[in-house]
Amino acid sequence: AQTVTQSQPEMSVQEAETVTLSCTYDTSESDYYLFWYKQPPSRQMILVIRQEAYKQQNATENRFSVNFQKAAKSFSLKISDSQLGDAAMYFCAYRRDGGSQGNLIFGKGTKLSVKP
């Protein structure tokens, strides 16, 4: 069974600085998809960024980028120029490729605090 591990329960960053959140996963599949979701205090789950495993190029969305290391099964999220609104729980998630089952498998999450 696939598993997703986030080893940092909490992280803190100074406003305007850069922070990296770690995620590792375990799978025997060769094709899959990885996601980072943000959950602010409102509890809404918001997709931040996604990565297709067959793509070697790391995904980027504005201030958010990932470092995808397929061989190491590592998928970290880098937030640049951190803003107060980035404070939230961040969840790493995995989805297998193919088939009719599209469910996400989530890590336990990392709580990010942003200091002014």
Partner 1 sequence: DSGVTQTPKHLITATGQRVTLRCSPRSGDLSVYWYQQSLDQGLQFLIQYYNGEERAKGNILERFSAQQFPDLHSELNLSSLELGDSALYFCASSVDSSWVYEQYFGPGTRLTVT
Residues in touch with partner 1 (CB under 8 A): 33, 42-47, 50, 52, 91, 95, 97, 99-109
- Cα–Cα distances (Å) from 18 to 30, 34, 59, 80, 102, in that order, read 31, 21, 17, 4, 32
CB of 94 to partner 1, least distance (A): 11
Q: Which is nearer to partner 1, 13 or 53 (CB)?
A: 53
Q: Which is nearer to partner 1, 3 or 14 (CB)?
A: 3
Q: Which is nearer to partner 1, 108 or 115 (CB)?
A: 108
* Single-letter code of the amino acid located at 89: M
Q: Which is nearer to partner 1, 37 or 86 (CB)?
A: 37
Contacts of 23 (CB under 8 A, 6+ apart): 4, 5, 6, 34, 36, 74, 75, 76, 77, 92, 107
CB of 102 to partner 1, least distance (A): 4
CB-side exposure of 77: number of CA atoms within 13 Å? 30
User: Is residue 78 a contact partner of residue 64, using CB atoms and an 8 Å limit?
Assistant: yes
CB of 46 to partner 1, least distance (A): 8
CB of 101 to partner 1, least distance (A): 4
